[in-house]
Amino acid sequence: MKSLPYSRYGNAGVYPLLVLLGILLTGCVTSDTRPIEERMARQVVFTVSNELAADPSVLTSYSHASFTDIEPALVREKSQSIIDGVLRFHHLRKVSQWSVKSLGLETVVAEFGSKKVLSKVIAELEADDRVDTVESVKSYQLLTYNDPYFQLQNSVQSDDIEQIHRLATGKDVIIGVVDTGMDRNHPELMDRIIYSKNFVSHDQTRFDQDEHGTSVAGVIGSAANNELGIVGVAPDVKLMAFKACWQDRITRRAKCDSLSLLKALVDVIDQQPDIINLSLSGPEDQLIRKLLKAASDRGIVIVAAVAPGNATSFPAVMKEVIAVGTSLGRANSGNGLSIIAPGTDVLTTTPGATYAFRSGSSMSTAYITGIAALMKERQPTLSGEQIRVHLRSTATNNIGTVPVVDMCAAVSKAGESCQPHTIVMVDP
The secondary structure element, H or E, covering residue 385 is helix 384-393
**Contacts for 379 with CB less than 8 Å, ≥ 6 apart:** none
Nearest residue to 47 via CA among 94, 108, 111, 93: 108
Distance CA 333, CA 318 (A): 9
Task: From 145, 238, 188, select the one nearest 351 (Cα to Cα).
Answer: 188
- List the strands of the sheet with 133-136, edge to edge: 93-100, 105-111, 43-49, 133-136
Residue 307: the pLDDT is 85
Strand runs labelled E in 102-236: 105-111, 133-136, 139-142, 174-179, 193-198
Handedness of CA 359, 361, 366, 368 (dihedral sign): positive
pLDDT by residue for the chain (428 residues), tens digit each? 433 333 333 444 444 444 433 433 344 444 566 677 888 899 999 999 987 655 555 444 433 444 344 456 777 788 899 999 999 999 999 999 999 988 989 999 999 999 999 999 999 999 999 999 999 999 998 876 454 555 555 555 445 788 899 999 999 999 999 999 999 999 999 999 999 999 998 899 999 999 999 999 999 999 998 888 889 999 999 999 999 999 877 777 888 999 999 999 999 999 999 999 999 999 999 999 999 999 999 999 999 999 877 667 899 999 999 999 887 655 566 666 789 998 888 899 999 999 998 888 899 999 999 999 999 999 999 999 999 999 999 998 888 888 999 999 999 986 677 664 433 333 33
Helix/strand/coil for 109: strand
Looking at residue 36, its pLDDT comes to 79
Q: What is the pLDDT of residue 336?
A: 66
Order the strands of the 174-179 sheet from edge to edge: 193-198, 238-243, 174-179, 275-278, 301-305, 321-325, 339-340, 402-404, 397-399
Q: Which domains does the chain have, with CATH numbers?
A: 34-137 (3.30.70), 140-411 (3.40.50.200)
Q: Which residues contact 98 (CB under 8 A, 6 or more apart)?
A: 106, 107, 263, 266
pLDDT (0 to 100) of residue 424: 36
Confidence (pLDDT) at 53:
54
Give the model's pLDDT for residue 158: 46
Q: How far apart are CA 279 and CA 324, in angstroms?
A: 9
Instruction: Catalogue the active-site residues.
Output: 179, 212, 362
CB 215 within 8 A of CB 313: no
3-state secondary structure of 412: coil
pLDDT for position 196: 98
The secondary structure of residue 183, as a DSSP letter, is -
133-136/43-49 β-pairing: antiparallel
C-beta separation of 217 from 358 below 8 A: no
Widest distance between CA atoms in the chain: 112
DSSP-derived secondary structure for 75-106:
HHHHHHHHHHHHHHHTT-EEEEEEEETTTTEE
